[in-house]
Structure 1
Amino acid sequence: MRKALLAALVSCTLAGAWLTPMRAAAQVTISISCSALGIEARLCREGAEAWAQRTGNQVRLVSTPNSGTERLALYQQLLAARSPDIDVFQVDVVWPGILASHLLDLSGKIDVSGHFEEVVRNNTVDGKLVAIPWFVSAGLLYYRRDLLEQHGAEVPETWQQLTETAGRVMQAERAAGNDRMWGHVFQGRAYEGLTVNGIEWLASHNAGRIVEPDGSVSVDNPRAVQALTLARSWIERITPLGVLNYAEEESRGVFQSGNAVFMRNWPYAWPLLNAEDSPVRGKVGVAVLPRGAVQGGVHAAGLGGEQLAVSRYTAHPEQAVDLVRYLTSREEQKRRAIAGAFTPSIVALYEDEEVLAPNPFFRDLVPTLRSAVARPSGVTGARYNRVSAEFAAAVHAVLSGQSEPAEALDRLERQLTRIGRAGRW
């Protein structure tokens, strides 16, 4: 069993990803999994290498699949086998409840004062702090500032306004010769990213949160139907059919190549869009996501972010905890914010002028982060992965035209009620 898991792991591991300190002989080797999304792998490598040089240890970086669904499945296999082969895991904001039984309690071992309290609470399961916030995130609307100005358009307040503006600017650009221009791109693949997009659409229409804090399933309601009907109308109208296979990087690729007016994505995209070789450098603006054009409609951004956790099966808990302490420190979070626009989990850094210089939109981000819409991982616990998969599949079926919104939501509510045993999650 363990050999099979290691074989799967090796296929996702960066060849030669060993970070050797430049001074004292290594004491122990700590393995850490890092995402390969955007520049995350490089920043993780640099931070881990700095820790290795400071402590005299070695660090082995393990690259994991870009897909959060695939990464979680790999983690679950390794941890179920009690494998000691990864000491420190990078975990999504919705995974602490799923993986908690396999993670060390870090209460009292790492100081979390100054971090967003909401995220610390999210990472506390049954009174145990099982993960430390590394960066917090929320969905944002990126837009081509130059194109909106050129065509006399405003940043949309509602999703309906986005639909109309995206269509008008797209058609004007196509008439001017760019037949590859689209109005809006987002994460439409049937995976965790679509769950977040879908929750943003529903919450912005005051349509609930799929599963409410009391455990009741609320996804089948008229406003949810309205939200998904609008999103479905985008496909092949203002959004390419290929969006049904887009994750974060595919969306960014289209937008950064200059072929989309709007994009929903995370803050990590900002420095990449403004890199020296980016075709849209200096042409991009950032805004809150639109609200639903209904009574009670709000600007709703999905809460995201990553944490670092220590496996219960590590052979070197002291060193693994120290690596997490270093990587989640104020100094390291500041470096990552400046170099990669990773929004810190330490609130005070949003007032640091060195952080704000390359990331001016950080100034207004704290209220958005504090009010971001969490996925129902807390109430659904270990069943969250099934809930998310069912929701993403239902939304994808609607977007692809395989199912009508009302049908899909009725079927989804019945499935989720069975999964949750009528609210007894």
Structure 2
Amino acid sequence: MSNLTGKKIILGVTGSISAYKSALLTRLLVKSGAEVQVLMTRAARDFITPLTLATLSKRPVLSEFTSSSGAGEGQWNNHVELALWADLIVVAPVSAHSLARFAHGFCDDLLAAVYLSARCPIFLAPAMDLDMYHHPATLENLRRLETFGNRIIQAEHGELASGLVGEGRLAEPEHILVELERHFAQRPVFRHKQILITAGPTQEPIDPVRFISNHSSGKMGYAIARAFAHAGADVTLISGPTVQPLPDPTIRRISVRSAREMFDATAAEFSKAHIIVLAAAVADYTPAEPAQQKIKKKEAVFALQMTKTIDIAATLGKQKRPDQITVGFALETNDELSNAVSKLRAKNFDFIVLNSLRDPGAGFGHDTNKITVIDKDEQVYEFDLKSKDKVAEDLLNLVQEQLAMV
């Protein structure tokens, strides 16, 4: 279920060439389960038709204080009731002109009246040409609006309608959706908390061409990073090689390849973190002496001498402070619970997340997972098979409960 499900969203659309993107944003909001009421300025109707947005939102689009046609002719569109109805207002695009109106309290149309009457959070996504966006008047208006408590979704860099290239493009609808999802997912307890997460596999070099690795896709670690970022935490993600996209633009990703690189990066960040989630599938062994040249195929039998890698969890577990919470992972194929409990104790975890490869739909590569979590008091929490995003939420809830006791 999306964090937007059941939320009442007012989408304001103002006069900008990028108003065409408001159609996709409306569609994304509706697909996420939100109720969407579109308000358009008069100028916006020159760029996209109200019919398009009414069809996508499944509600009549409002522009004027009174309806002038149809069965509701002469009906008052009560700006106060609209403002009180909304859980959130997002204006996308907001033009330079509308920014100025909002910043200085002008109230000459329905959208401006709703803006001034709102008690809910307001997000503004500006769109305009490069020089307009960087003009001192616009920058001052943006600063002023932020002091009012408005959230600014910064314009993005790219080719503009004028042909110039630079900042001023309306943020992509998918990026705006992430901002709104994050807003409704935020939990005050995670605000300003530093979260360190490892994810993905490691690759241990045999020679310049070949390496030893495992089947980890990084999906679980990336889902956990997304959950903490949406909850309002400051997330650092140390990732082995994976094709997973950055799950949230606020996440700081550090890319590594080998177990040694993952240890060095994790150790450098460990002392700053309040919560550490070690979800990466780190190699236990690495070739003792990787060849400097490609190994040619000659012998029928090829022997490779291996040496143990640094145990990241055990090493950092000895450095763990009482105010830190650590979460480890155990992927087992037999004696699952006893092996997980042994690892919990040996590595000084607060929680260990147990996966069994004997559970269908769990483990590497799947979009789902089935976990059992054991805490430091050896209390066991069992969860059903569910999406990895939902699994990440379950872990977030357990960590939140523990955080209250630290």
- Give me the TM-score of the superposition, normalised by structure 1: 0.24
> Which structure shows the bigger proportion of residues in strand conformation?
2
> Which structure shows the bigger proportion of residues in helix conformation?
1
- Give me the TM-score of the superposition, normalised by structure 2: 0.25
